[in-house]
Amino acid sequence: MTRVRVVGASGSGKSRLARELAAALEIPRFDLDRMFMEPGWVPVADAVAEQRIAHALAESKAWVMDGNWSGWAAPAWDAADAIVWVDLPTPVTLWQLLRRTVRRIVSREEVWPGSGCYETWGKAFASRESILLYSARSAGKFRRRYSAEFARLAAERPDVTLVRLGTRGEVGAFIASLQRA
C-alpha cells in the first residue's frame, strides 16, 4: 500500500486512522476536508480544490488521503492502490462524533491545525448544518455508496487492495498489523 484512500462516515475515525496509517507507512497524509475549506468554513472554488488535489497527488508517489469528497477528489480515488473504509455501526460513529465535537468546542481546538475552522455549540447542536445531524442522515448514503464502489473496484480493478473495517477492534488490529510489518 503506497497510495491509500481512507473513507467512512463523519465521526467514524477515518482521520485518526489516516494519521496512524501515514505514520506506520512513513508517507505523507492529505486531508480532503482541509483542501476544500478555507478559514471560517468557507468552501473553496472548484478550480482551487482541483488544483490542491492535483498538487498533492503530484507531490508524492506515496500518500494517505482521507475524506469523503467526490467530484474533484475522483483522481485520488482512481490513483489509489488501496481503499480503507471505516464502516463502524452508526451508534458507535455518532458517539465518537459527539465526544470529539464536545471536546473541540470546550478546548477551542481547531478542526484542522492552522485552518481557522472551529466547532461551536450553536452550529453543532442547534443548526441545520450540525455535524451530528449530517452524520446521522448520511450514514446510510455512505454505506450504500462505498458498498457499490467496493463491488465495482473488486470487479474492475483487482490490483486495488480493499479493506472494510466494521469494528473498533478491526481498526486497532489493522493498525497493529501495519506497525508490525
Per-residue pLDDT, 73: 60
CA atoms in the 13 A half-sphere facing the CB of 74? 3
Return d(Cα 103, Cα 119) in angstroms, integer. Answer: 10
Q: Is the pTM of this model over 0.85?
A: yes
Return d(Cα 20, Cα 176) in angstroms, integer. Answer: 10
Question: Where are the chain's structural domains?
Answer: 3-180
Alpha helices in 13-120 (DSSP H): 14-25, 32-36, 46-59, 74-79, 90-107
CB 13 within 8 Å of CB 99: no
Task: List the pLDDT tens digit at each of the 181 positions of the chain.
Answer: 899 999 999 899 999 999 999 999 999 999 888 888 888 888 888 889 889 888 988 888 999 999 887 765 677 778 899 999 999 999 999 999 999 999 999 999 998 887 888 999 998 988 888 999 999 999 999 999 999 989 999 999 999 999 999 999 999 999 889 877 6
DSSP letters, 18-30, are HHHHHHHHT--EE
Q: What is the CATH number of domain 3-180?
A: 3.40.50.300
